[in-house]
C-alpha cells in the first residue's frame, strides 16, 4: 500500500497546523480512510493514492491559512476536510482568508472557522439585518463584534452599539448594591469581555470615551434612531415581542444590525413569548433580512461542549416524542 511522509520545519508548527489538537489527525484519517502517524515534525500517510492526495490537500490548505497569519482551530480542520471531501474544486483556505476580519495591534485577525460561521460573516457583509441563531459557543456574538469593529475601522459605520436585555433588571434590580451603572454591568459583562479580547485595553477605553463604541441595556434604545451604526442585539431570545419590534425599528440611515440568540435558553417568565421566536416566524421573507442557523458542529469551544449540546438535543427530542 502506498506510503508518503510530509515533513514540517518544527513540531510546534505542525501542532498549530492541526489547531493544537492532535485528535485532528485522527479526524482527517477517518474522513479519507488513511492511516496517519505523526512524530516530531513529520506526518506519515498510508492508504490509496487518491486518499493520500486528499489528505495532502487538506494539510496544504491548513498550511496556507497558517502561513497567511490565521489561527487554525479544530473546527476549521473539520471544515477544510469536508470541503476537500466534497471535491467542489474550491480552495477553502482562500474562502476563509477572504472573510478575514481586522486584528488590532498584537491581536490576530479573526477568521470564520466553520461552514456556519462563513455563512454568517458573508451575511453580515451583504445584508442590513442578520439573525444569528444557534447554541452557545458557535461564535455568534464574537464574530458580530469582530465584524462591527471591522466596519468601524474601515469607516463604513461611525459607531458600534452593543446591547442586550437585562431580564432580571425589573423590580429586583433595585435591591442590588451600587449605582445604576454597577447594577447593569453584570448583564453587559459578556459584551465587554468580547470587546477586550479583540482590542488592546487602551484602544477599547478610548473608543468608548469618544462614543465610537456604546454598550447599553436594551431599554436604553427606546425612542432613539441609530444612524450610520453597526448595532448588535445579544441574547435576543430574552427580548419580549414588543422589545424586539422596538429594537428593529431603531435603524436609521446607514445602519446595520445583527441579532444573536439561542431559542433553547429563554429566561423570560412562563407564557411570555420570546421576541426572537416571533421574529423568526414573521421576517423570513423580508428583503434585506437574513437568518443564519448554527448547528452543534459550528461550536468552537472545547469539543466536549459540542458533545454535551448534542446529548441534550437528542434527549429532549426523545422526551418530546414520548409525550
CA torsion sign for 294, 27, 198, 124 is negative
Closest CA to 13 of 79, 67, 93, 76: 67
What is the pLDDT, as a whole number, of residue 178?
Answer: 53
What is the pLDDT, as a whole number, of residue 170?
Answer: 45
DSSP characters over 47-95: S-HHHHHHHHHHHHHHHHHHHTTPPP-HHHHHHHHHHHHHT-S--HHHH
CB–CB of 276/133 below 8 Å?
Answer: yes
What is the pLDDT, as a whole number, of residue 176?
Answer: 46
What is the pLDDT, as a whole number, of residue 301?
Answer: 67
What is the pLDDT, as a whole number, of residue 220?
Answer: 85
What is the pLDDT, as a whole number, of residue 237?
Answer: 94
CB–CB of 162/214 below 8 Å?
Answer: yes
The distance in angstroms from the start CA to the end CA of the chain is 53
DSSP characters over 264-285: T---SPTTPPBHHHHHHHH-TT
What is the pLDDT, as a whole number, of residue 310?
Answer: 80
pLDDT in tens, the chain (323 residues): 788 999 999 989 998 888 888 788 888 999 999 999 998 889 999 999 999 999 999 999 899 888 887 888 877 888 888 888 877 666 777 777 877 776 655 677 788 888 889 899 999 999 999 999 998 888 899 899 999 999 998 999 999 999 988 764 443 444 445 555 565 667 778 888 888 888 888 888 899 899 999 988 888 888 889 999 999 999 999 999 999 999 999 999 999 999 999 998 888 888 889 999 999 999 999 999 999 999 888 887 666 777 787 888 888 888 877 76
To the question of domain 115-303 being in CATH 3.20.20.70, the answer is no
What is the pLDDT, as a whole number, of residue 320?
Answer: 78
Q: Which CATH number fits domain 3-94: 1.10.10, 3.40.1350, 3.30.70, 3.30.1370?
A: 3.30.1370
pTM for the structure as a whole: 0.76
Domain boundaries, given as residue ranges, for the chain: 3-94, 115-303
What is the pLDDT, as a whole number, of residue 1?
Answer: 79
DSSP characters over 99-135: T-B--BTTBPPB---SHHHHHHHHHHHH-SEEEEE--
- Same topology between domain 3-94 and domain 115-303: no
Amino acid at each position: 500500500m502506498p506510503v508518503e511522509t510530509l515533513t514540517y520545519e518544527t513540531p510546534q508548527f505542525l501542532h498549530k497546523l492541526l489547531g493544537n489538537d492532535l485528535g485532528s489527525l485522527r479526524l482527517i484519517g477517518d474522513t479519507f480512510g488513511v492511516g496517519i502517524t505523526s512524530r516530531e515534525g513529520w506526518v506519515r500517510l498510508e492508504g490509496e493514492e487518491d486518499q493520500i492526495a486528499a489528505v495532502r490537500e487538506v494539510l496544504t490548505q491548513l498550511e496556507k491559512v497558517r502561513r497567511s497569519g490565521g489561527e487554525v482551530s479544530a473546527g476549521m480542520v473539520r471544515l477544510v476536510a469536508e470541503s476537500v471531501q466534497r471535491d467542489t474544486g474550491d480552495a477553502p483556505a482562500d474562502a476563509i482568508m477572504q472573510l478575514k476580519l481586522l486584528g488590532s495591534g498584537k491581536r490576530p485577525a479573526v477568521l470564520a472557522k466553520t461552514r456556519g460561521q462563513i455563512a454568517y460573516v458573508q451575511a453580515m457583509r451583504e445584508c442590513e439585518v442578520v439573525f444569528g441563531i444557534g447554541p452557545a459557543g458557535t461564535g455568534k456574538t464574537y464574530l458580530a463584534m469582530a465584524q462591527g469593529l471591522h466596519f468601524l475601522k474601515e469607516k463604513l459605520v461611525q459607531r458600534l452599539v452593543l446591547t442586550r436585555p437585562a431580564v432580571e433588571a425589573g423590580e429586583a434590580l433595585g435591591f442590588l448594591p451600587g449605582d445604576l451603572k454597577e447594577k447593569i454591568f453584570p448583564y453587559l459583562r459578556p459584551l465587554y469581555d468580547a470587546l477586550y479580547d479583540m482590542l488592546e485595553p487602551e484602544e477599547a477605553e478610548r473608543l468608548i470615551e469618544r462614543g465610537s463604541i456604546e454598550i447599553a441595556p436594551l431599554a436604553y434604545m427606546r425612542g432613539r434612531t441609530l444612524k450610520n451604526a453597526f448595532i448588535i442585539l445579544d441574547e435576543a431570545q430574552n427580548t419580549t415581542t414588543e422589545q424586539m419590534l422596538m429594537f428593529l425599528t431603531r435603524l436609521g440611515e446607514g445602519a446595520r444590525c445583527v441579532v444573536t440568540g439561542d431559542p433553547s435558553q429563554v429566561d423570560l417568565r412562563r407564557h411570555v413569548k420570546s421576541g426572537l421566536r416571533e421574529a423568526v416566524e414573521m421576517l423570513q421573507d423580508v428583503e434585506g433580512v437574513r437568518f443564519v442557523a448554527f448547528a452543534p458542529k459550528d461550536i468552537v469551544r472545547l469539543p466536549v461542549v459540542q458533545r454535551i449540546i448534542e446529548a441534550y438535543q437528542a434527549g429532549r427530542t426523545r422526551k418530546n416524542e414520548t409525550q
